Structure 1
Amino acid sequence: MGEDSYAAILDDAERARWSLAEATARLADLDFELPFLPEALVHGERLPFLTARERVVLSQIRGHAYLRIFALAKKFILPFVMTQAANCLYGDSEELLALMGFGQEEAKHATLFDRFSTAFGRGFDTVCEVVGPAEDIAAKVLLNHKLAVGLAVAHFELMSQSHYVRAARSDATIDQGFQELLRLHWREECQHVRLDALILKRLAAQCSPYERERAVQQYLDLLDDLAGVLRDQVDLDLEAFERSARPLTDGERETWRHEQARSYDDVYIRQGLDHAVFRSTIAAHFGGPFAALDEAARRFASSAASVFPSR
């Protein structure tokens, strides 16, 4: 396969594009009798004290958190992408058009997640709080070197590919509206991850070896920050579950926190950090591999103990 190009991505993006009307057609029909996320993204079976119905409640709470975490990510992805577009305003027209389309689609995804969150709030029986403020977390990400931010962007977009292809696509048990949201998100992100690779290649070429290594370390620091944010979300999920279902015992709460922290690490950290495309991009353009990346992968893998096989 030859080297990717903005022209090729533009053609594929045009075929993959969808409308908000298409994506939100099932909002009124969300089925709160069904799970919203596949078991491979929730790991409810690791909590043996939950009944079958309680595992559905957990899946729905995790589904809502999924929407809000990705909506948070869009708050640093969108300004990063639009800055890249602005930097080529007077350059290659196809690059500019592809990056402008990238930004427009990210804004559309954020709107989609917001609409699903609103529909969730109307149908679920209690408020599900989420970490934040999202704007503050995103602003902290954007303080880092542009190359580190680019790595964080690629991380989130590649892991969303794994979430659909390896978990949601073949799961017939989850709500169809939520499954369609994941499918449509995946469909446009297929082009975004290709754009990420081209952006990272260009940015890395502009940086010294020291800057590239520093960017990798900043990215890893961001993963540690993310792990802390996810620990907070585990507790918020627990509080929402107890409001909706029943109080847990102290032992059950301890198991919840341990197992759900492992699950969050797997879903939001390991599946991006260990993605084959992510690693090959770093190897090709950053002068890697880097020992710190491998160490972080081992650390989060031992924490997550994923149900997915290693890549």
Structure 2
Amino acid sequence: MPIATDPLAQDSASYARCIEVSKRIRWDIDRDVIRGRHFDLASKFLPDGLSLAHELPFLTPAQRLFYGQVQGRTYANMFGMIERYIGVKMLEVGRSHGFGDQTAFEALVRLTDEELKHQELFRRIERLAAEAMPPGYRFALDGNDVAAFVLGKCSWAVLALTCHIELFSQAHYRASIEGAAGLSDLFKDVFLFHWKEESQHAILDELEWVREDATLTPAARDAAVGELIELVGGVDSLLQVQARADAAYFRDVTGIGADHREAVESNTLRAYRWQYIVSGVLEPRFQKALGALTNDAQMARMQAALGPLIAYVGDCGEPALH
């Protein structure tokens, strides 16, 4: 006869494991990550499986290298921006444990502290990228405005989006960045150390998402799915803005011909939709978590909303993470 298990005890053990790992892998920006280094523009930042640089056959090798570096700079800035809202949300979620499970409370306080450290890391990386790269780059998105938009949605939707982000960041590192040849050692180390802590954050995100789901009525959950769809649409709007800015910067620096300009912008948007939306949607762990918390009709709504984005990305799919 199987022994019954207490879900609350299981959750508390999961929070405790996250604390143990957080203590064991704790790293410092200067001592462990940057270590006095600077960016070398002879090296790639993002592998082609993320930047989709290989999808533009008219680029010279030097242009292809720079194209991936522009995207890599934005990749770091995007995570720095995203983690602003995540830190605020997890501080809010942690308060609900304040007079209850102190292990869960500590785990979420540690997560918030780590997200603040990540923000500082990515600010440092932007300054190093600005020193190395030609002038004219512009990160067109405002972190406070984005955080206000995201945090205006219900907790279920925000936690779902957060879990999606934490999971795709891990997938990108494990499947693409970690084993890629020719990448900047500094850029690779940034996302190695980021991945180490994000691995625990994804566990906590999912625990809190499930915990929030348990408080919802069927009608509230149905509304929450609608707000998650709105968040995905909002993310896509941001990607369109930054893709235009990055394509313009790339064109200005390289002087690429007018006949290729539309292709560069379209491919940049395709890469960003792949990086920040579709690769996470296709991540099996996210699909399993979302499927466990929604019914067939709600999943159909999600699929209908995501369909045009997946179609736009096209064939790059999971095998492109290399």
TM-score in same-fold range (> 0.5): yes
Partners of 2:18 and 2:300 in 1: CA distance:
33
Conserved 8 A contact 1:263-1:306: no
Partners of 2:186 and 2:131 in 1: CA distance:
15
Tell me whether 253-262 or 73-82 shows the greater mean CA deviation: 253-262
Conserved 8 A contact 1:155-1:272: yes
Taking structure 1 as the reference length, the TM-score comes to 0.94
Taking structure 2 as the reference length, the TM-score comes to 0.91
| 1:155 maps to 2:164 | yes
1:187-206, aligned counterparts within 5 Å? 187-206=196-215
Aligned Cα RMSD in Å?
1.8
Measured after TM superposition, the shift of residue 282 of structure 1 is 2.0
Q: In the alignment, which residue of structure 2 is the partner of 1:256?
A: 264
Q: In the alignment, which residue of structure 1 is the partner of 2:58?
A: 49
Q: In the alignment, which residue of structure 1 is the partner of 2:311?
A: 302
Conserved 8 A contact 1:126-1:243: no
Conserved 8 A contact 2:137-2:246: yes
Q: In the alignment, which residue of structure 2 is the partner of 1:140?
A: 149
Which ranges of structure 1 fall in alignment gaps of 5 or more residues? none
Measured after TM superposition, the shift of residue 177 of structure 1 is 0.4
Residue number among 272, 275, 298 corresponding to 1:267 in the alignment = 275
Tell me whether 265-274 or 299-308 shows the greater mean CA deviation: 299-308
Conserved 8 A contact 2:141-2:242: no
Percent identity of paired positions between Structure 1 and Structure 2: 27
Partners of 2:70 and 2:32 in 1: CA distance:
21
Aligned residues: 309
SS in 1 for 2:316: coil
Residue-by-residue CA offset, 1:161-189 (whole Å, 9 max, x unaligned): 11101110110211010001111111111
Conserved 8 A contact 2:151-2:158: yes
Q: In the alignment, which residue of structure 1 is the partner of 2:230?
A: 221
Change (3 A) 1:73 1:305: same
Amino acid aligned to 1:50? L
Moved runs in structure 1, 4+ residues, more than 4 A?
none
Residue number among 284, 292, 295 corresponding to 1:276 in the alignment = 284
Q: In the alignment, which residue of structure 1 is the partner of 2:131?
A: 122
Measured after TM superposition, the shift of residue 149 of structure 1 is 0.9
Measured after TM superposition, the shift of residue 51 of structure 1 is 0.6
Which ranges of structure 2 fall in alignment gaps of 5 or more residues? 1-6
